[in-house]
Structures are given as structure tokens and as C-alpha cells.
Amino acid sequence: MISDDISLDKLIADIDQQIEVLTAIAGDSAILQEQLRIHKESREALINQDLELARLAELLDQDNIPEFTTIIEASKDPSSE
């Protein structure tokens, strides 16, 4: 998980650099303005996805795994075996 965090941090840092450069050079260029908008949206999506993954990981902590396993076992179709 730590290496995933480092990779995500590096990706966000790279996007931040690109946003900084695009902000400096975009001016009135519609294409560069659109690219800047897409970079900002991508950055936000990555951050939101990381937060959602962390939230889901908390919900599926080790204490709950046996409970979910029981639910899965109970819902198996006996005819499929």
C-alpha cells in the first residue's frame, strides 16, 4: 500500500507540474485551456478515487472478513456444486 501511495503522490505531483506549466503558457489558446481543464479534472478524480478506496478498505477491514465470507457461503447456489 505504501508503494501505491508513493506512485499516486508522484502521479499527482507530475500532474501539478503540468498544470503549473499549462497555466503559465495557456493564455487564450482554447486547446491549452481545454488540456488544463482536463488535467485539473483528472487530478481531482485521482484524489477522490484514492479517498474512496481508503473508505472502502476501512469498511472491509480484517474484522469483517469472516462475516462477509459467511454471507457469501450462505448465498451459494447448491445446484452449482
Rounded to 5°, angle at Cα 69 from 64 and 75: 130
The CA distance from 8 to 17, in Å, is 14
* Tally of domains in the chain: 1
pLDDT at 23: 96
pLDDT at 1 over 60: no
The overall pTM is greater than 0.75: no
pLDDT at 57: 84
Hey, what amino acid is at 33? Answer: Q
pLDDT at 75: 65
Q: Is 26 among the domain residues? A: yes
The CA distance from 32 to 75, in Å, is 52
Rounded to the nearest integer, the mean pLDDT of the chain is 84
Q: Is 55 among the domain residues? A: yes
Q: Is 81 among the domain residues? A: no
Q: Is 20 among the domain residues? A: yes
Joined grid coordinates for residue 33 = 485551456
48 is in which domain, residue-wise? 2-74
Q: Is 32 among the domain residues? A: yes
Q: Is 80 among the domain residues? A: no
Q: Is 79 among the domain residues? A: no
